[in-house]
Amino acid sequence: MTETQILLIEDDPLDMELALFALQENKIANHVQVARDGEEALDFLFCQGKYSSRDKAHQPHLVLLDLKIPKIDGLEVLRQLKNNEYTKAIPVVILTSSVLDRDVICGYKLGANSYIQKPVDFKQFKEIIKELGLYWLKFNRGVPEDAFT
Amino acid sequence: MRLPKFNKPKMDQSLPDKNKDLNPDRNLLHVLFIEDEPNDLELILYNLNESGYELEYDCVDQEPDFLDCIETNTYDIIIADFQLPGWTGLDAYKMLKEMDDDTPLLLVTGAVGDERAVDCLKEGISDYILKDNLIKLPLEVSRILHEKQLRDNHGQGDKQQTGNDNQHIAKCKAELEAVNKEFDAFTYSVSHDLQAPIRHINGFNNIVLSKYADQLPDEAKEYLQKINDSVANMNNLISGLLILSRAGRREMNVNLVDPNTILNEVMQELEPDMEGRDIEWKIDKLPDIKCDPDMIKIVITNLLSNAVKFTGKKKHAVIGVSPLPNGKPGFVVKDNGIGFDMKDNDKIFNVFQRLHQKEDYEGTGVGLATVYRIIAKHKGHVWGESQVDNGATFYVELNNG
């Protein structure tokens, strides 16, 4: 079974394509799971709905979270993720276009590990994705598998 | 004098019944319009006609024509647009005053919460209406005509009148503030939402440029690069608007602040813009000021980066920062750059106003508008002095009370 390294939560198809391109070009992740709204993201993480056959023990090593997403809002996804025993240790990087202090503060209060504003310049965006991948998937030592299960 | 026969409306009176004729006798009204937008004129005419005014009017959009008209004709009222090519409705008002002409002037300003409308109120124009609120126009016109008649009957010093004027100014101010708030919220959401499409354009443009570089002729690459430049430009514009709208919406966090620290921070941040330049800085110690430090940082950043930008063609640039000569809290930023013509003095703080060719000096025309707004929020004053090719000086005076 392929291990999902990154869960990308992004509703805008163009932003999704650009993020996937940047991830691929930097050879960061072989397998990226995309969730197009908050509900799908939680279904995936909690292995419910159409993901009910998924193994809870295999969680992504990094979640890239957009805040303005349909069905369930990004901050609510974050809250539930950080309040669940199986998923609370997954690093979450908020990747959003919002510059509102309110969102930044709320994000950190709910346990986000990082908050990054999507730059307009794609070269800069690729650079950020590269750094993120290196840091969270290579340098950072995450929780050992099954530690929280 | 022909006047509609009905009582003076109360200030808070709700909108009149559309079908009710404001002017039952359909008396003729002589109007001079100062308007450069045929569509706007048509809307104004429509609103007045609907309410029963029959009009005989002239329309001008140039100063000489305006002077010509008021010298040769007598009008019941002048209805002026604020923003005109090369001049403003405020200029027209001042000219009237100079000529001792007491024809009432009603200013019609854009719906975008023009900061300048506040200046008009200060100048004594108590009658203005927003373009998106033209439905109120007939009521305003009749009120103004009625007040004019009262003035003519009782003389200028009528106390009741002054009271009503003040009440009216207060009403206008409140209305303007509400519109400003709405505008800020609108600007924020528009500029925020505009970022997504330009991010996409830039992203895919870059992918084409990098992925297919060897298959593209040089000319195609140049065009794609031009798209990139335009996108970068638009992005700067949007970022500027975001800062402008946030400056308007934010709650002020006022403290006694040492501006010298902020100045140092800003100068460090501007270092990339100063690369390869010969700039002599003359920085004097500034007195403490009572202000919102984040907002004043935006002001200092804009003024200094303008000084750096507009001295760009000087071999040896000199930029000075010093306390206000009158000893009041604030500061002065002076450069020896390209300067501006003092006849443009009242335009430089307008949004999107540019005085120089884009090729010569980059910029979005939002910076000084942001400065103006922030200082206005502090109840302070900002003004500029300059001579073409002889540098510009900007004065910021704050209120420490």
Q: Is residue A45 part of a domain?
A: yes
Fold entry, domain B28-156: Rossmann fold (3.40.50)
Q: Do B199 and A118 touch (CB under 8 A)?
A: yes
pLDDT of residue B24: 46
Q: Do A122 and B207 touch (CB under 8 A)?
A: yes
3-state secondary structure of B49: helix
Q: Which helix (H) or strand (E) holds B69?
A: helix B63-72
Q: Do B203 and A18 touch (CB under 8 A)?
A: yes
- The nearest CA of chain A is from the CA of B263 a distance in Å of 24
When divided into structural domains, chain A yields a total of 1
Q: What is the pLDDT of residues A77-103, one digit of tens each?
A: 999 999 998 899 999 999 998 877 788
- Facing residue for B202 by CB, picked from A12, A97, A120: A120
Q: What CATH number has the domain bearing residue A80?
A: 3.40.50.2300
pLDDT of residue B399: 80
CATH number corresponding to B250-401: 3.30.565.10
In percent, the amount of chain A with pLDDT more than 70 equals 95
Distance (Å, whole) CA A33 – CA A6:
6
Which chain B residue is nearest to residue A18, measuring alpha carbons?
Answer: B203
Averaged over successive runs of 10 residues, the pLDDT of chain B (401 residues) comes to 35 38 60 88 83 86 89 89 84 86 83 57 70 76 80 62 75 77 72 84 93 93 91 83 75 88 92 88 92 91 92 90 90 90 77 66 76 88 86 88 56
Distance (Å, whole) CA B198 – CA B242:
15
Q: Do B198 and A120 touch (CB under 8 A)?
A: yes
Any chain A CB within 8 A of the CB of B185?
no
Distance (Å, whole) CA B369 – CA B350:
5
The answer to whether residues B101 and B73 touch, using CB atoms and an 8 Å cutoff, is: no
Q: What is the pLDDT of residues B132-161, one digit of tens each?
A: 677 778 878 887 887 777 777 765 555 566
Q: Is residue A62 part of a domain?
A: yes
Q: What is the pLDDT of residues A30-64, one digit of tens each?
A: 789 999 999 999 999 999 999 999 988 889 999 99
3-state secondary structure of B46: helix
Which chain B residue is nearest to residue A68, measuring alpha carbons?
Answer: B193
Q: Is residue A107 part of a domain?
A: yes
Range of the domain at A42: 6-134
